[in-house]
Amino acid sequence: ADSGYVVISADNGLYATVFASDGSFIKRTPLTQLPGKPQPVAQSALPVTITNYLTAIYPDYVFDRAFSISANGSLKGYIVLIDANNTKYAVAFDAAGTYVSAIPVW
């Protein structure tokens, strides 16, 4: 498998940009349709409903990073990046921690 990498950026939304190990661009994927500002969130600070969902649906997943999305001081949702079964996913949840969607990133 290619040992490429993923760069997460916030530019009018949250995006994952995938590069091959030689630095060549592969793809750019929007991670959320939620308007607002992403802020990093520690795994331990995620709502228990999110961690329970991830454990149930993606056994043995590896946490990468997470973001909360807020607009006008109001929490809109979460994006959690995980590795599961050799695939990187961005899993979206609403503000209550209810699953919304999963996007394969790489």
Helix H or strand E encompassing 57: helix 48-57
**What is the predicted pLDDT for the residue at 10?**
66
pLDDT at 11 over 70: no
Reported as a single tens digit per residue, the pLDDT across 24-59 is 877 777 776 666 778 899 999 999 999 999 999 999
Neighbours of 96 (CB within 10 A): 11
- Asked if 65 contacts 81 with a C-beta cutoff of 8 angstroms, the reply is yes
Q: What is the pTM of this model?
A: 0.79
- Least Cα distance to 93 among 69, 64, 57, 58 occurs for 69
- For residue 82, is it left (φ>0), alpha (ψ between -120 and 50) or beta? beta
Report helix, strand or coil for 82.
strand
